[in-house]
Amino acid sequence: MIRRNRILRTSPAIRAMVAETILTPADFIAPLFIVEGTNVKEEISSMPGYFRHSVDLTVKEVKELWSMGIRSVLLFIKCEDHLKDNKGTEAVNPDGLMQRAIKAIKDAVPEIVIMTDVALDPYSSFGHDGIVENGEIVNDATVEVLSRMSLSHAEAGADFVAPSDKMDGRILSIRNTLEQHSFHKVGIMAYSAKYASCLYGPFRDALDSAPGFGDKKTYQLDYANATQALKETLMDVEEGADIVMVKPALYYLDVIKKIKDEVQVPVSAYHVSGEYAMIKAAAKMGWLNEEKAIIEALTSIKRAGADLIATYFAKDAVRLL
């Protein structure tokens, strides 16, 4: 034998020397679920160990994340039922929960990068990401509202808007709207390769945002396809996306790799609620070691090509590194 492969795995020191993929706290984007009220902290039943917080406790949480080295948060709000409609009225309310949360975080931790979800589902009486007409999700009217919604987040102080809706043409429209209003420093993280996945179930519990009819297959990608994901990601970059995203993450490592090889912007991946829940459930049963499962999952996502990872395990991962 002239090549003994095991030499490079002999000891922890050698393994550390040759490790190609190393996670760091700045890799993580921490998603946060925000609710009305004060001093509210509610555990999400299908996401054990993860919570919805009122704005005051969200601010506390953000301070802790920042002190741990996490550099970015991704905000989602749970809209009160009586404020939901089919027009996204509350989504553009300058005093809405999202807008108030952005301001409170910006005041308390000005340096952290605030990213905001842009889609109508939490605000929609139909639980869909867009405006519904005759049982269909209409594209262009939705893009118009998403652009106003993005502007409203920028006005409140968001650093990045993150359109997760998958309507056609929304990146260009959002970019133009931001430009027209001189928000030259607000970025766009586009959910470009977002699949219609079963893995969003716990998230929809968290926000009470499950579709009231049908599914999201007319706008989110079919998991049988990778080519469309690449095409649509390249289009989003052309339209002005600063960061592109693949979502979910672990079932889509090939898509992350394919996109990373083709684009010249940072690629993020969203390790979604169902991926969190799977690890939590198996760990609770004693079938998997939770800590090892977390680090292996996140390292694999980065190895596939993700520059950034949105994950509910951000804090756990930083503690384990």
27 touching Mg ion, by CB under 5 A:
yes
- Shortest reach from residue 315's CB to ligand PBG, in Å: 16
Contacts of 48 (CB under 8 A, 6+ apart): 280, 284
Site string for Mg ion, 253-292 (x = CB under 5 A): ----------------------------------------
Positive or negative, the CA dihedral 221, 222, 223, 225 is: negative
User: What is the residue-wise DSSP string for 224-278?
Assistant: T-SHHHHHHHHHHHHHT-SEEEEESSGGGHHHHHHHHHH-SS-EEEEE-HHHHHH
Tokens of 216: 């999201």
- Shortest reach from residue 278's CB to Mg ion, in Å: 25
**Smaller CB distance to ligand PBG: residue 119 or 190?**
119
According to CB under 5 A, which residues from 293 to 312 bind Mg ion? Answer: 307
- Shortest reach from residue 242's CB to Mg ion, in Å: 14
Active site residues: 194, 247
**Smaller CB distance to ligand PBG: residue 194 or 258?**
194
H or E element, residue 174: helix 170-180
**Smaller CB distance to Mg ion: residue 171 or 301?**
301
According to CB under 6 A, which residues from 223 to 252 bind ligand PBG? Answer: none
Options 117, 232, 236, 239; binder of ligand PBG; rule CB under 6 A? 117
**Smaller CB distance to ligand PBG: residue 63 or 211?**
211
* Contact predicate 70/58, CB 8 Å: no
**Smaller CB distance to ligand PBG: residue 247 or 258?**
247
Site string for ligand PBG, 34-63 (x = CB under 6 A): ------------------------------
CB crowding 51-66: b at 16 or more within 10 Å, else e: bbbbbebbbebbeebb
According to CB under 6 A, which residues from 123 to 182 bind ligand PBG? Answer: 129, 164-165
List the single partner that 236 binds among ligand PBG, Mg ion, none, CB under 5 to 8 Å by kind: none
Amino acid at site 101: A
CA proximity to 112, closest of 87, 153, 75, 152: 75
Tokens of 77: 């709000």
User: Residue 44 — φ and ψ, nearest 5°?
Assistant: -85, 125
Tokens of 181: 């209003």
Positive or negative, the CA dihedral 169, 171, 173, 176 is: negative
H or E element, residue 63: helix 55-67
- Shortest reach from residue 276's CB to ligand PBG, in Å: 7
List the single partner that 200 binds among Mg ion, ligand PBG, none, CB under 5 to 8 Å by kind: ligand PBG
- Taking only Cα atoms into account, the Rg of the chain, rounded to an integer number of angstroms, comes to 20
What is the C-alpha separation between 150 and 127, in angstroms, rounded?
A: 19
**Smaller CB distance to Mg ion: residue 8 or 26?**
26
Contact residues: ligand PBG, CB under 6 A: 117, 119, 121, 129, 164-165, 200, 203-204, 216, 272-273
Contact residues: Mg ion, CB under 5 A: 27, 307
